[in-house]
Structure formats: structure tokens, C-alpha cells
Amino acid sequence: MVDLDKIKSSMLPFAKLLGMEFTVAEPDRVVAEMLVRPDLCTRPAILHGGAIMAFADTLGAIGTVLNLPAGASTATIESKTNFIAAAPEGSRVVGEATPIHRGRTTQVWQTRVSTAEGRLVAVVTQTQMVLPPR
């Protein structure tokens, strides 16, 4: 298991801006929560689709990083989102990313974003390129 304090201390500035709080960071599963704040919303006071996508992309990227060979890095090369339901302002969303494929040159992760009560908000599937050490 990966040390959550290490993930938190090295978190990307954008993840901090989103307010992501990591609860699990393992090679097979990454979980985080996020408060649906007014500045992350569209009208009528629901979580913006771009915020959902950024939240999920960050989870999948961290999952990939946890599976990279030494010195390698990653970049998202494809992402698809199915929006299912709204997440209202003031609620919390939970994202859980799990691997579908962990290959030598690409990894594919699926992130399910739900409300804290368990209502599915979105399903995001992303492909991460594995970049060899320079």
C-alpha cells in the first residue's frame, strides 16, 4: 500500500485547487472525495462536467503513476465520460478508479464518480500513455 501522506504532500496543484481528499491509493484502486463547491458548479448549482472530468482524470493518472516502472512518466491520451446524474452544490462526490488494462505502453483506467449517498454521477474511461525514462 502507498503512503497517503506521501500522495497528499506531492499532489498536483490542480488537485489541491479542486479540493481532492485521497482516502485510498493502491496500485489496484485509487479513491478520493471532493466537496461540490459553488466555484466548481454550473447552473443550476450542480457540479460542472469539466470538474467531474478533471477529478476523474487525476484519479486515473495517480493510479497509473502507482504502476509505472522506475523513472517513467505518464500522460492522458484519451478520455471518455458518460454523465449519468447531477451532483448538487454542497454535496460530496466520491471517485473510485480501477485499472482495466496495465500494459507496457498504455494503461486504461475506469473511474466511477458517485455522490456520498451512492448515486452514480459519471463513468470515465481514460487511456494513459506510459512514457519511458528520458
Q: Give average pLDDT by consecutive 10-residue segment, the chain, 134 residues.
A: 59 87 95 98 96 98 95 96 98 98 98 98 98 92
Model confidence pLDDT, tens digit, residues 64-80: 999 999 999 999 999 99
What the block records as the C-alpha cell of 8 is 497528499
Q: How far is CA 64 from CA 53, 73, 125, 130, in A?
A: 16, 9, 13, 8
pLDDT in the model for residue 46: 98
- Check: CB of residue 104 under 8 Å from CB of residue 34: no
Domain count, the chain: 1
pTM: 0.93
Residue (of 108, 8, 1) closest to 61 by Cα position: 108
Model confidence pLDDT, tens digit, residues 9-21: 565 788 999 999 9
pLDDT in the model for residue 13: 86
User: Rounded to an integer, what distance in angstroms lies between the CA atom of residue 113 and that of residue 1?
Assistant: 22
CATH of the domain at 17: 3.10.129.10
pLDDT in the model for residue 10: 62
Cell 486515473 identifies what position? 60
- Domain that includes residue 90, residue range: 4-131
Pinpoint the alpha helices (H) of the chain: 4-9, 13-18, 49-65
User: Rounded to an integer, what distance in angstroms lies between the CA atom of residue 57 and that of residue 109?
Assistant: 9
User: Angle at the Cα of 92 (from 50 to 114), degrees rounded to 5?
Assistant: 70
